[in-house]
Each structure stands twice: as structure tokens, then as C-alpha cells.
Amino acid sequence: MGRAHGRVLVIGLDSVSPWLLFERFRPVMPNVRRLLERSRYGTLRSTDPPITVPAWAVMFSGMDPGSLGLYGFRHRKPGRYWEMYTPSSRSPLEPMVWDRLSRAGRRVCVIGMPPGYPPPILNGVAVSDFLTPASAKDIASPPSAIDAIQRSAGGYEFDVSFRSDDRARIADDLVRMTRKRFAVARDLWQREPWDLLALHEIGPDRLHHTFWKFFDPTHPRYEENHELQDRVSEYYAILDREIGALLDLVPASVRILLVSDHGSQPMAGAFCINEWLIRRGYLTLNGSLPRAGTPLEETEVDWARTRAWGAGGYYARIFYNVRGREPHGSLGPDSVPDFEATLRRELSEIPAPDGGSLRVESFTPRERYHEVRGDAPDLMVYFGGCSWRSAGTVGHGRLYLEENDTGPDDAVHSFDGIYSVSDPAEGAGRPGPPERIVDIGPTLLDLLGEPVPPGLHGRVIDGFR
């Protein structure tokens, strides 16, 4: 059922897991239910690490994070201890699907897909992503599209402030932002018969971080609060209505992909990686521990006696203080292999607070990726299948925190996202096998009748043609 020049609509829902869409909130999502009834759908395994910026880029490039040079929200500048930078739309070292389509003369429209600032120049329209600076004026390309986008949205919004206990305000902000984003999508969809329109919605991710402990009794800090629980169902119902209003404009001949970049799960807690490195003698401070929650960069580190330090986030990034590479390196390059082996063995033995295993998994980028480009950490570490965050701050005097050290947070990422591909013929309305996120890009090219370049890490998924 190949279509030489098909058209495709991609709706990207950040951080949505199979349980949330196919079970928990399916009853309040009649439009999504109808879409699934004419689709093949299932679990989409995210990438390593399951983090928004690398995951969406992997999805739309068909290449792994090592080849893209993307390892998370922030990267350390080479040769600097503390200076970090946020990836931009210019950071991926491989082209996205819309870059390839633009070069082939196809018309594309990309709304908010990360990393998306500054908006890339395409054969069509691009709206920048949630990492757009608040003061930015160049929010879309071409610039002539900006006024129409602002009008259709009633003032476009890229994100909400969600590290707060003011949950009622956050719920209102999420609904308003999502409605604006879909209003822009509907307006742009009607402007011309795009070959590909891809929309990214960050709202579900923010919702899960803010409200998870109010709707999931399995959350370790579950709180019974019917009002806040209802706000979650209400958001999913509104999201469904916005999806339905967009789908009402889409002809039956257009293939529709509903995808997420990764899933979500309750946050078990945070493991203090730098406190652990200090206790093991790998990281040395000048003086005693500072007050609890102090960023490591605000402490005085004795670099002459430090061999490794870490960064916080969804996983621990560990950097080695290598002589000749770092400004005050203490670890000889020849010593790195033995040091790394010891460090990884000790990490694997870290217990959970209850005395069981914390299930620590460590790997080097060269072990996991086809190649290592850009500014990769030396070691990447998951705690409890990413159910535990990495806390980079120090001064806690303990290794385990019940909460995120950077602000209120109920959820972390998981590896299982979702996919749904509409298909009016064979296979429609039935669950499909688990698929890989890296295969979506090549599959999109195939659905659009474009050649799949050799050398991609992903493949065309069987049965989607």
C-alpha cells in the first residue's frame, strides 16, 4: 500500500507512556480512541538517554545520539569544569527528515520540535521549540510567518513555568498553552497541502512532572487530592479535543502518526552522585560540606585530589579529571581504564535505601553508540531504570533524597513511549509489536515516497508501507 507521494501528519506528545494513553486516560479521549481504531499502535522504545532533546532528534534523523552529538539538555564545554551550553537547532550533526524533504523540494511545516531554536530554514514553515529564549523575536522561519502565527495563537507560548507548588496556576497555563499550539497547527494545516506537518506538544511532560503523585496511587509520595487528580483528566480530555479538531481537517488519504519521545514514571527519589564520589575519595572539596543543596560549582573543589565529578539530571553524567585534558587534571591518561573499571564496579554495588539493589547501570558513550561526536560525558549512569534522578548538588549529608534537588517534581522519564500509525487497510485497529524510536525517521521518508539514505541507524518498519 505504498504511496509514491503521500502526505503525513505527525502529532508528537512529549513524555506519554503506553499506560497513560492506551489505558489510564483512554476513556476521556474519544478522538484518540477513534484514531487508534484505524491505526497500528504500540510501544516505542526511546533512546539512551530517554531525554527530550536527543530523543526527538533521534526520531527524526534515524541516527543515534552519539552520531548526532546530543546527550541531554545540557553539554559541558570542552576543557571547562562548569560551563554548560544548551543544544540548539544547529547542534545535531546529522540532518532531520524535514531537512532532507526540503532539499527534495517537498513542503514541510514543523511546529515546536526540539531542538528547534533558532527555527531552521526549511522549504516551508518552522516554529521554534520550548527552549526558545523568552526575549527571542526570531520565533519562526520565514520571518514573514511570525505575525500570522501570533494572531492564530492569540500570542504564542513556548512553555510554562512548572517548578512550583502552585499547581492550579500550572494547570491553567498548560491548557492555555496547548490550545494555542493546536490553533497554530490548524491554521498552518489549512494554508497549503503540506507533504509533512509535524507538531510537538510539551504539555503532557509538564503535566506529569507536576501532578503525577495525585493520580497514581503507586507513587511513593501519593497524595489523595481529587481536585488536582481531576485536573489531570481534564487536561487529557482537552488535549483530545484539540487533537480531534485538527484531525477533522485531515483527509483520509493522509497518514497520521501519533508518537512520543519517551514515557514517564513516578520519581522514586534522587541519588546524590557527588556526595557518593566525595565519600569514595574520588572528589575532594576544600573545607567541609556546604549547606544542603549547594551546586557543586559554588563550592571550592580541590582539583589536585579530584579524579571525577558528576552532574545531575535524569541520569548521572560523570566526567574524569584527566591530566592534559582538564585545566587541573589529576588522573593520568594511562590510568583511566583501571580507574573506570573500579568506578563502575563500585557504582554497580550501590544499594537502594531499603538494602536491596538500586539497579545501577553504567556505560561509556563508545559502548552504546556507533560513534561518539560532540561533547559527551565520560560515563553515563542510570539509577533504578531511571526511576531515580541524579542529584548534582552537595551538602545533604546523605546519599538519597525523597525529592528533586532542583524544585518540585513528581515524575521522571522512562524508556517506553508510544506510536500509532493510521492505516485504513490491514492491521488497523490492532496493537502492533514494540518498535524503536530510531526507525521512525526512515519510515517517514518511506511513507512520503522519498529514498532512505544508506548509513542510517534506523530501518523502515515492516508493515507501515
Taking 90 as the threshold, does the pLDDT of residue 462 lie above it? no
Taking 50 as the threshold, does the pLDDT of residue 2 lie above it? no
What's the CA gap between 22 and 96, in Å, rounded? 29
At residue 426 the predicted structure's pLDDT band, cuts being 50, 70 and 90, is: low
pLDDT tens by residue, 439-454: 999 999 999 999 999 9
Positive or negative, the Cα torsion across 204, 205, 210, 215?
A: positive
Taking 60 as the threshold, does the pLDDT of residue 51 lie above it? yes
Q: Are strands 8-13 and 411-414 parallel, antiparallel or unpaired?
A: unpaired
Taking 70 as the threshold, does the pLDDT of residue 1 lie above it? no
What's the CA gap between 432 and 435, in Å, rounded? 8
Burial tier of 161 (Cβ tally within 10 Å: 0-12, 13-18, 19+):
exposed
Helix (H) or strand (E) holding 318: strand 316-320
What's the CA gap between 50 and 414, in Å, rounded? 7
Positive or negative, the Cα torsion across 351, 205, 19, 426?
A: negative
Taking 60 as the threshold, does the pLDDT of residue 4 lie above it? no
What's the CA gap between 208 and 217, in Å, rounded? 14
pLDDT tens by residue, 74-111: 999 999 999 999 999 999 999 999 999 999 999 999 99
pLDDT tens by residue, 320-348: 999 999 999 999 999 999 999 999 999 99
At residue 240 the predicted structure's pLDDT band, cuts being 50, 70 and 90, is: very high
Q: Closest Cα partner for 98 from 88, 77, 113, 83? A: 113
In angstroms, what CA-CA distances link 242 with 175, 184, 245?
10, 11, 5
pLDDT tens by residue, 251-286: 999 999 999 999 999 999 999 999 999 999 999 999
Which residue is associated with the grid cell 573500579?
342
What's the CA gap between 51 and 75, in Å, rounded? 13
pLDDT tens by residue, 345-396: 999 999 999 999 999 999 999 999 999 999 999 999 999 999 999 999 999 9
Q: Closest Cα partner for 456 from 61, 54, 55, 90? A: 61
* Long-range CB contact pairs, 349-356, < 8 A, 24+: 350/271, 350/276, 350/383, 352/384, 353/269, 353/400
